[in-house]
Amino acid sequence: MPYSYYQGVRFAGLLGFALLAYKSYEQKKIEVMIVYIGLAVLFQPFVKVALGKGGWHVVDVVVALGLIGSIIWERRNGI
């Protein structure tokens, strides 16, 4: 994929995690908000975080599993 694709994905990640952080702040879930802020900083497209290809694969999988887990958790708990 072209580099611009990855830049777009990182920008979308920044916006998405910032929105999740704001929603967590509104719900007074400060620990969760801090995690989302950290992910927004990690995925931001302005200053490159050098993790290498393998490192980014691990981060992507862990974050994807965490997001899926949080969706399941919130649906089961009626939040």
Q: Which domain holds residue 14?
A: 1-45
> Quick one: pLDDT at residue 65?
92
Please check whether residues 30 and 4 belong to one and the same domain: yes
- What is the tally of structural domains in the chain? 2
Please check whether residues 2 and 34 belong to one and the same domain: yes
pTM over 0.75: yes
**pLDDT tens track of the chain, all 79 residues?**
788 888 898 899 999 999 999 999 999 999 999 999 999 999 888 888 888 889 989 998 999 999 898 888 888 876 5
The CA distances from residue 28 to 15, 63, 65, 69, in Å, are: 20, 22, 23, 20
Please check whether residues 55 and 34 belong to one and the same domain: no
Q: Which residues of 16-40 are buried (b: 16+ CB within 10 A; e: fewer)?
A: ebbebbeebeeeeeeebbebbbebb
Please check whether residues 33 and 59 belong to one and the same domain: no
> Quick one: pLDDT at residue 74?
81
> Quick one: pLDDT at residue 40?
93
